[in-house]
Homo-oligomer: A and B are copies of this chain.
Amino acid sequence: MKFATASIAAALALATALPASAQTQKPEDEIRYRQSVLNVVGRAMGPMGAMAQGKAPFNAAVVQKNSALIETMMSLPWDSFGAGTDKGAPTKADMKIWKEAAKFKQAAESSQRASTALVAAAKGGNEAAFKAAFGELGKTCKGCHDDFRLKEFRN
């Protein structure tokens, strides 16, 4: 009983010390949250992809807005891949995310850095600089998807 009380006190102290973003969430909520964030990223990538491929005219304002949004989003989903969130709702998350956690962390950090670089490139309003930085970001997205995202949902 003494141990249990001490554990509860420690847990409460920990909960208070943790940033609010690390409050406990159900696995299905974590899965939904990370999918939501990455869905917003995907939507923001779309118009820039069209520009990068020459299918839409270069629009510096859209590039600046969307790259800022992506940079903001890229800080959000990774904490939601914590222990116990490998299942609980349909997910494309490969178990390698948890088995090769250090590699996954590196991949996530690469994407974050590439999104920051895109924001910097976008500020100049230069199409060539945008295309180069967008290409780099796209590579990090694809790399992480190739390594850590399944083709189909699993439960």
Tell me the dominant secondary structure on chain A's binding face.
helix
For this chain, the copies found in one complex come to 2
Interface set, chain A 21-35, CB cutoff 8 A to B: 21, 23, 32-33, 35
Minimum C-beta distance from A52 to chain B (A): 12
What are 13 sample pairs from A and B whose C-beta atoms fall under 8 A apart?
A: A19-B62, A20-B46, A20-B48, A20-B50, A20-B51, A20-B62, A20-B66, A32-B39, A33-B43, A36-B36, A40-B40, A69-B76, A72-B72
Minimum C-beta distance from A80 to chain B (A): 9
**How many residues of A are in contact with the other chain, CB < 8 A?**
26
With the chains together, A76 CA to B41 CA distance in Å? 12
Partner-B contacts on A (CB < 8 A): 16, 19-21, 23, 32-33, 35-37, 39-40, 43, 46-48, 50-51, 56-57, 59, 62, 66, 69, 72, 76
Chain B residues closer than 8 Å to A56, beta-carbon distance: 16, 20
